[in-house]
Amino acid sequence: MSQVLRIILQRIALGILTLFIVSIVIFTAVNMLPGDFAQAILGQGATPEAIESIRRDLGLDQPPIQRYFAWLAGAVQGDLGTSFAQANFSSFVGADSGGSDVTVATQIAPRFANTMFLAGVTACIAVPFSIMLGVLAALYRNSAFDRAANIFTLSSISSPEFFLAYVLILFLAVLNPVLPSLSNIYDGMEFGERLQKTLLPALTLTLVVTAHMMRMTRAAIINLLASPYIEMARLKGLSPLRVIVKHALPNALAPIINVVALNLAYLITGVVVVEVVFVYPGIGQLFVDGVKTRDIPLVQACCLIFAGAYILLNLTADILSILSNPRLRHPK
Amino acid sequence: MSVILWILAALAAISLSGWVFRLAGQKITGNSPRFRDMPFAVAFGYALAAAAVLGGVWLWFQPGATFFRWAVQGFVIFAIAAWLFRLLGRAVGTAGTRKLFRQMPLTASFGILVILIYAVLSIFAGVIAPYGQAEVFDQVNALPGGNAATGGNPDHLLGTDQIGRDLLSRLIYGAQNTVGIAFVTTCIAFFLGGSLGFLAATLQGWLDQVLSRAVDVLMAIPSLIFALLLMTIASAWAGSEKWLLTVYMVLIIAVIDSTRVFRLARAVGLNIVVMDYIEAAKLRGEGLRYLIFKEILPNAYAPLLAEFGLRFCFVFLTIASLSFLGVGIQPPLADWGTMVRDLAQFINFAAFSPLTAALPLMAAGAIALLTVAVNFVVDWMLHRTSGLKD
């Protein structure tokens, strides 16, 4: 057991190191911006004094390394800085409106919860559905069902998310008004209503990720079907379904867990486009808005959160596949 | 609630008809093995397929199901075209290509046909398109269909957009811009990732370590997110020069995607450099350039070609997504992602004017069709080279 613990700790340390380096990459990339933020906020006609005072206020007059560690220390404590678009710089121009700054953290927190809700609903639909389809496709391999499933999944993997989204909107929202095409979610909504409004984006994401998970499940099971112990189970006279569910599936679990986690990680990038299509108030939409208005602290923070979630899910996949495979648990 | 009840009732009916179907088969054929050994799940599957076909036929004759009819017609037309194309391929060409077409599944011939059509469209867009991509006409927002009585214009088959540009021409030019830019990007990504990957595999040592770790870090950031971050910076760099932003986008996506190519090229290269013929070439005193281009590259051809197809799909989808989000290919260049975004609100008119509602779907479908086609071809190529038969 201690060895397993050591491997897991090793992986976690590696994950934290990766996140640290990624944060350096993000910070460096943002610092390659021409000019500086103060100039960007105030525009061309700004007086040098105003620029200077904003620079001092944002800490832009310090050297990059110092700024990086200040940003990192803040980010670790949950303080991601102040959003430019929402920042209150009126005091610099002499008109004090008395409002307070909107920090990036307060902007992101509710939206992050919304995105997690969307990803959660998607995972609840997609994971059981795709594993079931994968087992069925492996069971009836090379039949008409398998071929139809193959063509269908290949098509839905390769379609852009917005194509699937608009097709679903066309059929389920416009022609047959079953589900709302706009997901205007707000706080204090009832769970049922919230679920109903989330269902269409969740279905779109399900279509995108199901295909990949199903194909991997099918491939992982079929890979095992040639092994001697499966032959043995077959010769014992077990039914094909029992051979697959009882004998092949447990051994195929490692690659399946891996691909499920990878697809959940993919969900994080997939949500950006889908959230924009359905105007879902999630972190992806916030990110795209930030990109369009060049709201640097916001973009930086969203990027860090996306990368963190991505690394975390990959790490989970890694650890789970080590735990589920005795051969990896006891390396030579 | 009633929806769930309806679904449950339909499932029960299908299960029952599956059971009846199996029983009837057993009785009629005198217990032939086909029906005797049929598991219930298979019988259920047949009943489900029959129900789906019946439902499709019923839907076909519904007055409001215009889109369903179009989808079915499109599917049938493409299937027949792919079949005819395969027949043609079997009859014409050299012995090698004829053999290739004989073993080809219908999906692969469909893929090749679609890729050929797109290639022709994108190369000869200027000849095929009735107008230029940035040409502005007087009539704005002309409806598609070309019928003047219903707000259309016979000169513009698919109508015009909000500033009066011909949509059909822009759709055709989209093939040139979107596909062309994606192709160039993929080529750059391959040149970059492939050469560095082979270099790392051949030289190994510190160069390999540095490149591999750098690629690991870049791959830890989701590619679309990283692309969006870099596009923010690029848009500040480009300022008001829109064409420069497109160039930056090509470079950014090429670099991000080259990391994936690097991984594959390095892995394939590592398998090849341990071969005896590489050892022999090294002993002959061949240089690095000879080793990479004459020894490694020809042997890494098949996996790299499949990767090129897949990579092209990813790049194409990334560019389309970026354009859809408004930070990709910039106007006045016509491009499908931007078109989808601009035309998206027309989808709400589906009940009144199906053709208008189909406009955003045409642009999005044009993207989907090409990626599906490339994926079909790659799937077939991988299947053929891996020898995976079961």
Give B62-74 pLDDT, tens digit per residue: 877 788 888 889 8
Query: CA B200 to CA B212: how far, in whole Å?
Result: 8
pTM score, two decimals? Answer: 0.85
B351 touches chain A (CB under 8 A): yes
Q: In chain A, which residue's Cα lies nearest the Cα of B317?
A: A160
Mean pLDDT of A227-231: 88
Give A172-190 pLDDT, tens digit per residue: 888 777 777 777 777 777 7
pLDDT of residue A293: 77
Q: What are phi and psi of B249, to 5 degrees?
A: -60, -45
Query: CA A84 to CA B236: how far, in whole Å?
Result: 15
pLDDT of residue B114: 92
Of B64, B231, B364, the CB nearest to A162: B364
B364 touches chain A (CB under 8 A): yes
Residue B43 pLDDT more than 90? no
Residue B312 pLDDT more than 50? yes
All domains in chain B, ordered by first residue: 1-61 (no CATH), 167-386 (1.10.3720.10)
Identify the band that residue B186 occupies on the pLDDT scale cut at 50, 70 and 90. Answer: very high
> Which residues does chain A have within 8 Å of residue B39's beta carbon, measured at their own beta carbons?
239, 241
Residue A35 pLDDT more than 60? no
B237 touches chain A (CB under 8 A): yes
Identify the band that residue B390 occupies on the pLDDT scale cut at 50, 70 and 90. Answer: very low
pLDDT of residue B116: 92
CA of B261 vs chain A CAs: smallest distance (Å) = 19
Residues written for chain B: 390
Query: CA B41 to CA B63: how far, in whole Å?
Result: 35
Count of other CB atoms within 10 angstroms of residue B166: 27
* Tokens, residue B15: 């299960």
**pLDDT above 70 coverage of chain A, percent:** 85
Mean pLDDT of B251-279: 89
Identify the band that residue A40 occupies on the pLDDT scale cut at 50, 70 and 90. Answer: low
pLDDT of residue B386: 67
CA of A205 vs chain B CAs: smallest distance (Å) = 15
**pLDDT above 70 coverage of chain B, percent:** 97
pLDDT of residue A86: 57
Domain spans of chain A, in order of start: 1-102+293-332, 108-292
Of B3, B313, B350, the CB nearest to A174: B350
Of A18, A34, A268, the CB nearest to B220: A18
Q: In chain A, which residue's Cα lies nearest the Cα of B237?
A: A34
Mean pLDDT of B179-200: 92
Give A82-117 pLDDT, tens digit per residue: 666 555 454 444 444 444 556 777 778 888 888 888
| Least confident range of A16-25, A55-64, A117-126, B100-109 | A55-64
**pLDDT above 90 coverage of chain B, percent:** 16
Cβ-Cβ pairs closer than 8 A, A with B, add up to 161
Of B324, B348, B367, the CB nearest to A273: B324
pLDDT of residue A38: 64
Residue B207 pLDDT more than 50? yes
A66 touches chain B (CB under 8 A): no
CA of A239 vs chain B CAs: smallest distance (Å) = 10
Mean pLDDT of B282-308: 85
Question: How many angstroms separate the Cα of B244 from the Cα of each of A305, B175, B252?
Answer: 30, 20, 12
Question: How many angstroms separate the Cα of B304 from the Cα of each of B84, B164, B205, B269, B307?
Answer: 30, 44, 24, 11, 5
Q: In chain B, which residue's Cα lies nearest the Cα of A278?
A: B344
pLDDT of residue A178: 75
pLDDT of residue B356: 80
- Amino acid B255 reads V
pLDDT of residue B115: 92
pLDDT of residue A99: 47
8 Å CB contact between A204 and A164: yes
Inter-chain touch B221–A303, beta carbons under 8 Å:
yes
Most confident of the following: A82-91, B55-64, B100-109, B247-256: B247-256
- Amino acid A187 reads D
At the topology level, CATH places domain A108-292 in MetI-like fold (1.10.3720)
Inter-chain touch A175–B367, beta carbons under 8 Å:
no
Mean pLDDT of A192-207: 86
A39 touches chain B (CB under 8 A): no
Give B111-159 pLDDT, tens digit per residue: 999 999 999 988 888 888 777 777 777 777 777 776 766 667 777 777 7
Give B333-345 pLDDT, tens digit per residue: 888 888 888 888 8
Q: In chain B, which residue's Cα lies nearest the Cα of A293?
A: B232
Of A145, A290, A292, the CB nearest to B326: A292
Of A174, A291, A299, the CB nearest to B348: A174
CA of B331 vs chain A CAs: smallest distance (Å) = 16
Q: Please identify among residues 144-173 of chain A the ones whose CB lies closer than 8 Å to any CB of chain B.
A: 144-145, 151, 154-155, 157-163, 166-167, 169-171
A27 touches chain B (CB under 8 A): no
Tell me which of A285 and A32 has the higher pLDDT. Answer: A285
Give A240-261 pLDDT, tens digit per residue: 888 888 888 888 888 888 888 8
CB burial readout A288-319, b (16+ within 10 A) else e: bebbbebbbbbbbbbbbbbbbbbbbbbbbbbb
Identify the band that residue B251 occupies on the pLDDT scale cut at 50, 70 and 90. Answer: very high
Q: Please identify among residues 184-243 of chain A the ones whose CB lies closer than 8 Å to any CB of chain B.
A: 222, 225-226, 239, 241
Question: How many angstroms separate the Cα of B379 from the Cα of each of A258, A301, B307, B317, B371?
Answer: 22, 38, 11, 18, 12
pLDDT of residue A92: 47
pLDDT of residue B183: 92
| Least confident range of A90-94, A193-197, A234-238, B255-259 | A90-94
> Which residues does chain B have within 8 Å of residue A151's beta carbon, measured at their own beta carbons?
107
